């Protein structure tokens, strides 16, 4: 069982937007909340580059973002209701778990440790774990390799089109998380085999899929 992190396990989109506003507040121009939200799931440096006036401005913007993120992370980071209980139940059921995120591994581990999810994860794959990030299949395939799992026996839950595209390209069943940045309609259009309204639905869905030979529900 593979998870995206921001917008799927942890309710951090408002915090991400606060980081972005701070990053660009002295820059003169910057993205709207809607423009940034549309790109969530893209590695931070790449996304900042889309709104920087010059490529050479990106390192300073990245540093400003990270300073703010580090200072406010713990106070602004929490799991979605039912997320920890869901992860715990899946782990207790014998399902190997991993996170596949556009965060760096360092940032993802900090978030997982703060929310007490880290002990359940057999692998944490970040934007710096391989050469190509989501929507490419590489991060998903690396997570499966570290878990010793085959794509045909795996599921990924994510809230963005990047998550679903990465899963599908890797041959993994893709489930949409409708409590994140995307609407149910956009998740279905991106190829979600099923869209969940609440993360607490996940153990039942996984149980159905295992009984049905891992066919898409």
Per-residue pLDDT, averaged over 137-143, amounts to: 98
Question: Please, what are the domains in the chain?
Answer: 2-11+78-211 (3.40.50.1000), 13-76 (1.10.150)
By C-alpha distance, which of 195, 199, 142 is closest to 166? 142
pLDDT beyond 90 at 137: yes
Q: What is the pLDDT of residues 27-38, one digit of tens each?
A: 989 999 999 998
Task: Look at residue 213 in the predicted model and tell me its pLDDT.
Answer: 72
pLDDT beyond 60 at 216: no
Per-residue pLDDT, averaged over 20-25, amounts to: 97
Task: Look at residue 40 in the predicted model and tell me its pLDDT.
Answer: 87
Task: Look at residue 210 in the predicted model and tell me its pLDDT.
Answer: 80
Per-residue pLDDT, averaged over 136-165, amounts to: 96
Mean pLDDT in the chain?
A: 94
Per-residue pLDDT, averaged over 201-206, amounts to: 95
pLDDT beyond 60 at 94: yes
Task: Look at residue 214 in the predicted model and tell me its pLDDT.
Answer: 63
Task: Look at residue 37 in the predicted model and tell me its pLDDT.
Answer: 92
At a CB cut-off of 8 Å and minimum separation 6, what does 13 contact? Answer: 6, 7, 37, 40, 180, 181
Active site residue 4: yes
Per-residue pLDDT, averaged over 148-174, amounts to: 95
């Amino acid at each position: 069982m593979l998870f995206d992190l921001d917008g799927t396990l942890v309710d951090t989109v408002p915090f991400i937007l606060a980081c972005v506003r701070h990053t660009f507040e002295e820059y003169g121009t910057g993205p709207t909340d809607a423009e940034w939200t549309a790109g969530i799931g893209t590695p931070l440096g790449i996304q900042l580059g889309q709104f920087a006036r010059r490529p050479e401005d990106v390192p300073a913007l990245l540093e400003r973002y990270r300073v703010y993120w580090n200072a406010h992370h713990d106070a602004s980071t929490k799991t979605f209701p039912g997320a920890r209980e869901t992860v715990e139940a899946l782990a207790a059921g014998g399902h190997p778990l991993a996170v596949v995120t556009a965060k760096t591994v360092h940032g993802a581990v900090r978030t997982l440790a703060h929310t007490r999810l880290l002990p359940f994860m057999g692998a944490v794959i970040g934007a710096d774990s391989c050469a190509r990030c989501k929507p490419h299949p590489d991060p998903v395939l690396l997570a499966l390799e570290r878990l010793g799992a085959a794509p045909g026996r795996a599921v990924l839950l994510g809230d963005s089109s990047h998550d679903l595209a990465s899963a599908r390209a890797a041959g993994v069943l893709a489930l949409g998380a409708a409590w994140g940045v995307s609407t149910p309609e956009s998740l279905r259009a991106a190829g979600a085999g099923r869209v969940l309204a609440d993360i607490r639905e996940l153990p039942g869905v996984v149980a159905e899929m295992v009984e049905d030979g891992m066919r898409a529900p």
